[in-house]
Every structure is written in C-alpha cells, then in structure tokens.
Amino acid sequence: MDVKYKLSIAIFSIYLTACGGGGGDSSVKEEPKPEPAVVSQSYYSFNFDFENYRSFSYFNNEPTRSYMTDVGWGEYLLTQQSLYTDMKVKGDTRAINELTLYFSDAPNVARTEYLKKTNLSGISIFDGVYPGFQGFFKAMNGTPIYANEKIASLYVNAGVEQTFPPGSACYHLEKSVPTKPYIWFTHSGFKDIAYSYMPQLIESWKKDAKSYGYTTRVTSGKWNAYPWTKVQILDKYGVVNSIVVVNYQGMMFEAEMVDGEVFEQSKDAAAYLKRAQQFDPASEAYQHRLAISTYIGNNCKYYNDIAIAAIQRYNAIS
C-alpha cells in the first residue's frame, strides 16, 4: 500500500513521518472462501524499487505451504498476542484457487488476496511494471522533479521499447481482506521521545493537518502489553498519510501497521484520480497524480515465470 505515499508529494511536515499501513485494532471479518481448486502455479514479486525479489509456488493445491518471516536483530513483529524479535517466525500460505491466495505471516494474523490475471504479451516491459509513468514523462517532456529515482532511471536507461514475450502474464491485487493486522517496527524507528509525550504530538499533528485543510482520525490500543497509537490524515477522498507509533520500553518507535484495512485497488485509484482533477490538466501536479492513479489501478502484484524472466533481462531485480 505503501506506494501511493512513496510517490505522493509531501503535504505537511511533522515530527514523525511514516508511509503505508492503515487500520485499527479491530479485526476485519474474513470473507467466505470458495472450495479449494487444484492449483499448480508459481508467483513472482518484487517491491517498487526493483528489490526484495520473492517467489512461491503451489503444487496440486497442497493444503498449506510454510514459509518463514525473517524478523532480524533490531526488528520487531507485534501481534495482539506476541512480540517477535531476532528470530524466524513461521507463516503459511495456501491457494484457494489461482486467483485467491491466503497468507499468514505469523501466528494469529492473516489476509486473503483476490487477484485478476492479465495477459502482458507484447506490452512494453516498462509499462507493465510502471503503468502510467511513460505518459507522465512524455507530458512533462522529460523526467520532472516529482519522478521517483528508480522509475526515472529505467525510463532513461532501459527505455520503453522492450516488450513481454508470448505467454507473459501478471496478477493484479484487486482486493485484500485481512483477518487480523500486525505491527512492524525497527530500531531505526526509535525517536528518542518518551511515549508519554504522545498527547502533545497528536495535538500538534492535528493542528498541522487542519492548516492544510485535512482532518485527522486517531485510534489506539494495547497488544501484548505494548500500547500503540495510529494517526491518519484524511482529505475528502480518504487517507493520505498514516502515522503509527508503538510504546516500546517507554519510548516512541515509528511503526507500520500491516494488513490493517481492507484494500480495494479500484477505490484507491479512483481517489487519486479525483485528487488529480483538482489541478490544471497541463500542470505537473495533475500529471503526477494521474500517473499515480493509473499505477494503483493497473500495477501487478505478481508475475508468472515467463514475465519475470523478461523483467530480469530488462533490468536485474536485486
């Protein structure tokens, strides 16, 4: 979810900043699942900056496939029941069918992903990975100041001419329905501010947000004896930023709430399109938001083996 905040223009300055992860402490009721189908399929993914390459496969729809969530030194995974650090946490996944995948990154947390498959054969690899941004660069006659460094580098150096070969396909994440969220934070999120100062910071954030025409929504909870606070900044179309802070040993740690809300690709894309329409169509602000809307509405969460091989030839994923 994170990408829309990573791409968006900074809208206000605050003591802490965070991107991604919405949601509160309430569990989201999991939608009914169809009966499992026989699935033999591999899925490949990487993050927005061409990093964290990952793959997983299902064979004849075995009941579950285990994987490990690596929680390294100085990293923390907090659920409603447990705090994990400096260890590998057992997770599991299963394919309900080719387009419905279930994941549990740790005990007592889970999400179900609903996918849509798209044929990429003959499509520009750049457009398949970063839909919307070739149009952005062309409209701005180059690589404008709002451009993400990785996208700009690929556009200039790798180009847009290479295309996906026949048989290439990807999977869009149309909807993600969490059962229970978890919180992720690291030593790098340490703010050297006592958590008891949280009420003053909240008031400061509310004041800053209001000065820019935004509203705020504050939720809090305590998981496994660790209090946390989430402050969401909203415009009339939805959440534009989310700040999560955990009380760890009495101090503030900037955090991310993972799988905190239902995600719907079409709704997020529509919200960014509405934000774009507030600006002059000839402006960079409009074109940037239009590119984000197009990206959110058309980006691929996973690729098949033929598509990922073509992407690796186009630009190696680290």
C-alpha separations of 87 from 56, 70, 76 in Å: 21, 6, 9
Tens of pLDDT, residue by residue over 128-159, are 999 999 999 898 887 666 667 888 889 989 99
Per-residue pLDDT tens digits for 226-245: 999 999 999 999 999 999 99
Q: 87: which residues sit within 8 A by CB, 6+ positions away?
A: 71
**Contact call for residues 77 and 69 (beta carbons, < 8 A):** yes
Task: Output 90 or 13, whichever has higher pLDDT.
Answer: 90
Q: Which residues pair with 241 in a beta bridge?
A: 233
- Nearest 5°: the CA angle 255, 261, 264 is 125
Tell me if 177 sits within 8 A of 30, measured CB to CB. yes
Rounded distance, CA 313 to CA 299, Å?
Answer: 19
| % of the chain with per-residue pLDDT over 70 | 85
CA 206 to chain centre: 25
Q: Which two tokens stand for residue 276?
A: 């774009």
279-296: pLDDT as tens digits: 999 998 999 999 999 999
pTM: 0.84
Number of C-beta neighbours around residue 107 at 10 A: 15
296-316: average pLDDT: 96
